Chain A
Amino acid sequence: MGIRFILMVNKQGQTRLAQYYEYLTIEQRRALEGEIVRKCLARNEQQCSFVEHRNYKIVYRRYASLFFLVGVDNEENELAILEFIHLLVETMDRHFGNVCELDIMFHLEKAHFMLEEMVMNGCIVETSKSNILGPIQLMDKAS
């Protein structure tokens, strides 16, 4: 299992989406998120996109005011995860049209549905945007 968690955090450090692929208690999550966010947000643009924290490696990327942080284990290909983050953003862009923090907040469940189509149990399931969005659009039409 490569991906251990995916976080979306705004630049104030508030969590906007959190998906874990391993079990952590609420307290552990809060602590972990706090530590990671503090570490990543303090870094500047020139520094590399990887931060080692505890036994995780955090791959992060900033899009406007939103940080996408992906925690992976040591075996994972960091560059591929960066590419994955970009794919995730592109997918959300295609659905929401220029995705922003509020889109994710107010459509939290939609963001999760997309993530669910992309990642399962920490592994990437699908990389085609239309395949990912297919079921979601279908549901939107139905409702």
Chain B
Amino acid sequence: MNPFSSETRLRDMIRAIRACKTAAEERAVVRKECATIRASVSDNDNDYKHRNLAKLMFIHMLGYPTHFGQMECLKLIAAPGFPDKRIGYLGLMLLLDERQEVLMLVTNSLKQDLNHSNQYIVGLALCALGNISSAEMARDLAPEVERLLLFRDPNIRKKAALCSIRIIKKVPDLAENFVNSAAALLKEKHHGVLLTGVQLCTDLCKVSTEALEYIRKRCTEGLVKVLKDVVNSPYVPEYDVSGIADPFLHIRLLRLLRVLGHGDADASDCMNDILAQVASKTESNKNAGNAILYECVETIMSIEDNSGLRVLAINILGRFLSNRDNNIRYVALNMLMRAITVDSQAVQRHRATILECVKDSDASIRKRALELVYLLVNENNVKILTKDLIDYLEISDQEFKEDLTAKICSIVEKFSPEKIWYIDQMLQVLSEAGNYVKDEVWHALIVVISNASNFHGYTVRLLYRAVQKSVDQEVLVRVAVWCIGEYGDMLVNSVGMLDIEEPITVTESDTVDVIETAIKHHTSDLTTRAMCLIALLKLSCRFPSCSERIQDIIVQNKGSLVLELQQRSIEFNSIIQKHQNIRSALCERMPVLDESAYSVRRAGSLPAAALSSQDSAVALPNGVAKPSATPLVDLLDLSSDDAPVPAPSQGNDFLHDLLGVDLSSGPSQAGTNQTQKSGTDALLDLLSIGTTPAPSSFPALEGLSLGQGTDTSVSALAGLASTSTTMHATQPSPSVGISPMVDLLNGFGPPEQIWEVNDAAYPSIVAFESNNLKMTCNFSKQPGNLQSTLLEANFINKSSDVYTDFIFQAAVPKFLQLHLDPASSNTLPASGDGSITQKLRVTNSQHGKKSLVMRIRIAYKLNNKDVLEQGQISNFPHECGPESTTFFNGDAVFAQMEEKQT
């Protein structure tokens, strides 16, 4: 016999499935079986409908799709016989759900069956309706169910009651129709009907306040009597559970009384006696009795105050808590959690026991207890409790550490009585479970440390000690590295020694050792290493004697495979090597971080605009900020608060922010579509990488700064990126050789618009020259677009002083359209030691008729004095358009621009 024909019995199919050794085999068996069932369904094979459905139920339970069996269920339901209907309804409940449209089809069958003369069939229909009814079905069939609440057979009445619950939950408007009949059910003697009737009343009270009022007024006394009868009832074998008559009914009754007594003194009064009786008389040596006590305590806690009862309840809780049975202890903790809002003093009394539960071997109990402890903490006990929890952190299970750490951090942050205590506790947590601490927690810690100026020395010494012992705690290492970078000098000079401290002698080289260990440690990730590099840079300035060693460590990362580290390493090396004069300014201690601003941001109420700009910033793989680490960015981002918020794609602001330098203070140039990206490029320029001021003796083949800068940058770069320079040396065309280098060094520059290199090249010109400043221009045209000309302006400082707040503005006559890209920087180093480049695009709407002409204005600060230079450029190359005599009044345009700015 074919084992997969529809003649296979259910039993055989199960055997076949159980015989499968792999999931793939099982899938194959199920697939074949499903195929035969499908075939049988389409053949309208009546003999096997029952069997097919039983098989489908099994297949469904295994987690395979069985939707094709749904129609089969409907057919069986429509069949006249009880056995067919029975399996049909079961299949319906298991295979279908109220979301499926097939349900629409079943409403009619249900209606017929609800009116069937066979009460068992009525029962089936009620059960199905109660389990799967949708809102529409509930509306359609509510009258039938209402009628059945009064049916003669109690087995139908109890099912109708539960069915009503489904209906009023789906359609709360219908609640009022059920109130009367529900209240009537409470007078029944049949346990099933009572149980479901009480449940129905409870749910009615939840969906409708009128129902609550009605039942409270009419039924409270009756319910108290019912409970009394159940409590005092003689032995009923059918409902007896370990000597208690129907604990389920007890519990349901207590629950309804809780709803009725809550917020109503009269009702509460009415049930006091019986609650006292239940609480004091119920046997507590069996589970059933404890279940009732548990429910009773909860009811006592919820109803209106009665101090006598409360004492009784709290005593029960105390007994539960010291019970040896873990189940009982678990529910005790659960209940204490609810009791804490009612009587927190009483709960506090059990603090020691609860704290013991935090250390239990059972994860469920630990979790409950920890949550309870969290609620128990207040200003008075925070120190003791935190100490206990932190002590336990040391020995707790690995999987529990995360929860525990989070809670401790939260407690410490919330109730910290003083800063030094907060710092102490946090450092302890970091030393024990640093790897479980969330980013925002240690970011907050850094903010607090930064603000606690009295404790800078203390903190850095504490961290220095801690980090020696726990090198594996990543977060501890990060905080230590940050603090040592900032306050390393305090560590060495023992500044701000507190009385409680033991004296410690740390040499400069010891301090560097710590960072070196951290950067080389195998567990350190990108963020930690990047933080190390920054700390090293700062230390190089604080400890001139170690400068060379630090440089060595930094250089070791030059070959890092991680672009971020490589880049940082090269930049910092360059700062140490070549830019002693600005290094101290770059490495200044960070200003105190704004605590309130950080907490606001942490709370997520940061203005959306600022957030998005920050988000886009972190999208770049920037050394110190992971994409998820926005708070860090906020934390370290100083400039965005006081400077005009830079436009998006400011990935590199971090760098200067991290260094505590604010370079981007220039006002953005309104009226010229220009976004300020100076922060980034300023640093680039400081490092003299990329574009160097070379008076373009080049035939300007490329017309781009990359090409132009090559000659001079090679020397600067030679020591930095030997691979690319050799490449460059062997390449005849500078544009090819330079690009990898530019990528390497300029990789963190703002995403630049790719300027297509034009075939037709134009000679570059000196567009403007004064005693202090020279501006050269390169030109190129986009192929196929003769109207527009791309200009690249290069500014060189001829004086011996640095120009800051450098702004270049240009104005053109109306037939021209001007678009200015952001300048590479707003700081122009002295004596031609760097340049600023800025790209412009000019579109000439009268190309061929009129020539380009432009008025320019350059403003900058020299020794903090404003300097303004103006000029007109009309010596554009001929190829850019025929010479024209058109002049225009650029001053007027500037005046307009200024108006707009103000």
- Residues in A lying within 8 Å of B, measured CB to CB: 1, 15-19, 21, 23, 26, 29-30, 33, 43, 46-52, 77-80, 82-84, 87, 105-106, 108-109, 112-113, 116, 120-121, 123-131, 134-135, 138-139, 142-143
A18 contacts B131, CB within 8 Å? no
Q: Which of B58-66, B265-273, B843-851, B889-897 contacts A (4 or more CB under 8 A)?
A: B58-66
B 268-291 to A, binary, CB cutoff 8 A, 1 in contact else 0: 000000000000000000011011
Give complex CA distance A124, B252 in Å. Answer: 10
Give complex CA distance A80, B252 in Å. Answer: 10
CB neighbors of A among B77-103 (8 A): 82-83, 86-87, 90, 93-94, 97-99
Is B44's CB within 8 Å of the partner chain A?
no
B894 smallest CB distance to A (angstroms):
65
Known A106-B11, A121-B131; judge A80-B63 contact (CB<8 A). Answer: no
Q: Can you sample 14 A-B contacts with CB below 8 Å?
A: A26-B64, A43-B363, A47-B326, A48-B365, A77-B291, A78-B327, A78-B331, A79-B294, A82-B327, A106-B14, A108-B54, A126-B155, A127-B192, A138-B120
**Residues in A neighbouring B83, C-beta threshold 8 A:** 139, 142-143
Is B239's CB within 8 Å of the partner chain A?
yes
B interface: dominant SS: helix
**Residues in B neighbouring A123, C-beta threshold 8 A:** 162, 165, 196, 199
Besides A120-B130, A124-B248, 20 more A-B contacts (Cβ < 8 Å) are A17-B61, A26-B65, A43-B362, A47-B363, A49-B326, A49-B327, A80-B251, A106-B10, A108-B58, A109-B57, A112-B57, A112-B90, A113-B86, A126-B155, A127-B248, A128-B191, A128-B238, A131-B192, A131-B238, A139-B82
**Residues in A neighbouring B195, C-beta threshold 8 A:** 124-127
A126 contacts B192, CB within 8 Å? yes
Q: Pick the most buried of A33, A49, A80, A106: most chain B CB atoms within 10 A of its CB.
A: A80
Known A78-B330, A108-B57, A138-B120; judge A84-B248 contact (CB<8 A). Answer: yes
Give complex CA distance A29, B94 in Å. Answer: 13
B57 contacts A125, CB within 8 Å? no
Q: Pick the most buried of A18, A125, A135, A139: most chain B CB atoms within 10 A of its CB.
A: A125
Out of B60, B65, B127, B362, which one reaches A116, CB within 8 Å?
Answer: B127
CB neighbors of A among B305-332 (8 A): 326-331
A18 contacts B295, CB within 8 Å? no
Q: Which residue of A lies closest to B66 (CB)?
A: A26
Q: Which residue of B lies closest to A16 (CB)?
A: B61
B 163-186 to A, binary, CB cutoff 8 A, 1 in contact else 0: 101100100000000000000000
Give complex CA distance A50, B246 in Å. Answer: 23
B330 contacts A125, CB within 8 Å? no
B326 contacts A46, CB within 8 Å? yes
A30 contacts B291, CB within 8 Å? no
B238 contacts A130, CB within 8 Å? yes
Q: Which residue of A lies closest to B368 (CB)?
A: A52
Known A78-B331, A109-B54; judge A128-B248 contact (CB<8 A). Answer: no
Known A23-B99, A48-B362, A126-B192; judge A83-B247 contact (CB<8 A). Answer: yes
A120 contacts B127, CB within 8 Å? yes
Q: Which residue of B lies closest to A87 (CB)?
A: B241
Is B232's CB within 8 Å of the partner chain A?
no
Give complex CA distance A142, B294 in Å. Answer: 44
**Residues in B neighbouring A135, C-beta threshold 8 A:** 120, 123, 155
**Residues in B neighbouring A18, C-beta threshold 8 A:** 61
B86 contacts A29, CB within 8 Å? no
Known A15-B62, A106-B10, A113-B90; judge A52-B290 contact (CB<8 A). Answer: no
**Residues in B neighbouring A1, C-beta threshold 8 A:** 165, 169
Give complex CA distance A108, B228 in Å. Answer: 40
Is B109's CB within 8 Å of the partner chain A?
no
Is B359's CB within 8 Å of the partner chain A?
no
A20 smallest CB distance to B (angstroms):
9
Give complex CA distance A130, B240 in Å. Answer: 13
Give complex CA distance A93, B100 in Å. Answer: 36
A78 smallest CB distance to B (angstroms):
6
B248 contacts A80, CB within 8 Å? yes
**Residues in A neighbouring B241, C-beta threshold 8 A:** 83, 87
Out of B63, B163, B169, B365, which one reaches A26, CB within 8 Å?
Answer: B63
Known A15-B61, A135-B123, A142-B82; judge A120-B248 contact (CB<8 A). Answer: no
A121 contacts B327, CB within 8 Å? no
**Residues in A neighbouring B14, C-beta threshold 8 A:** 105-106
B426 smallest CB distance to A (angstroms):
28
Give complex CA distance A121, B365 in Å. Answer: 30
B687 smallest CB distance to A (angstroms):
52
Is B361's CB within 8 Å of the partner chain A?
yes
Q: Which residue of A lies closest to B133 (CB)?
A: A121
A92 smallest CB distance to B (angstroms):
16
**Residues in B neighbouring A48, C-beta threshold 8 A:** 326-327, 329-330, 362, 364-365
Give complex CA distance A79, B291 in Å. Answer: 5
**Residues in B neighbouring A121, C-beta threshold 8 A:** 130-131, 162-163, 165-166
A31 smallest CB distance to B (angstroms):
10
A57 smallest CB distance to B (angstroms):
9
Give complex CA distance A142, B83 in Å. Answer: 9
Q: Which residue of A lies closest to B289 (CB)?
A: A79
Give complex CA distance A134, B64 in Å. Answer: 33
Q: Pick the most buried of A26, A105, A123: most chain B CB atoms within 10 A of its CB.
A: A123
**Residues in B neighbouring A80, C-beta threshold 8 A:** 247-248, 251, 291, 295
Known A26-B63, A84-B248, A108-B58; judge A128-B86 contact (CB<8 A). Answer: no
Known A30-B63, A113-B90; judge A82-B57 contact (CB<8 A). Answer: no
Is B568's CB within 8 Å of the partner chain A?
no
B664 smallest CB distance to A (angstroms):
47
Out of B90, B196, B290, which one reaches A79, CB within 8 Å?
Answer: B290
Is B781's CB within 8 Å of the partner chain A?
no
Give complex CA distance A11, B58 in Å. Answer: 19
Give complex CA distance A128, B194 in Å. Answer: 13
- A-B pairs with lowest CB-CB distance, top 4: A79-B291, A48-B326, A47-B362, A23-B97
Is B529's CB within 8 Å of the partner chain A?
no
Is B159's CB within 8 Å of the partner chain A?
yes
Is B461's CB within 8 Å of the partner chain A?
no
Give complex CA distance A18, B95 in Å. Answer: 11
**Residues in A neighbouring B123, C-beta threshold 8 A:** 135
**Residues in B neighbouring A78, C-beta threshold 8 A:** 327, 330-331, 334
Q: Which residue of A lies closest to B325 (CB)?
A: A48
Give complex CA distance A113, B89 in Å. Answer: 10
Is B656's CB within 8 Å of the partner chain A?
no
A125 contacts B196, CB within 8 Å? yes
A24 smallest CB distance to B (angstroms):
9
A127 contacts B246, CB within 8 Å? yes
Is B728's CB within 8 Å of the partner chain A?
no
Give complex CA distance A49, B83 in Å. Answer: 38
Q: Which residue of A lies closest to B90 (CB)?
A: A112
B117 smallest CB distance to A (angstroms):
16
Give complex CA distance A139, B123 in Å. Answer: 13
CB neighbors of A among B32-90 (8 A): 54, 57-58, 60-65, 82-83, 86-87, 90
Out of B94, B163, B287, B295, which one reaches A120, CB within 8 Å?
Answer: B163
Give complex CA distance A130, B190 in Å. Answer: 13
A142 smallest CB distance to B (angstroms):
7
Give complex CA distance A139, B120 in Å. Answer: 10
B 833-868 to A, binary, CB cutoff 8 A, 1 in contact else 0: 000000000000000000000000000000000000
A131 contacts B251, CB within 8 Å? no
A126 smallest CB distance to B (angstroms):
4
A27 smallest CB distance to B (angstroms):
8
**Residues in A neighbouring B364, C-beta threshold 8 A:** 47-48, 50-52
A125 contacts B192, CB within 8 Å? yes
Give complex CA distance A40, B262 in Å. Answer: 36
B145 smallest CB distance to A (angstroms):
12
Give complex CA distance A131, B334 in Å. Answer: 34
Is B367's CB within 8 Å of the partner chain A?
yes
Give complex CA distance A46, B158 in Å. Answer: 38
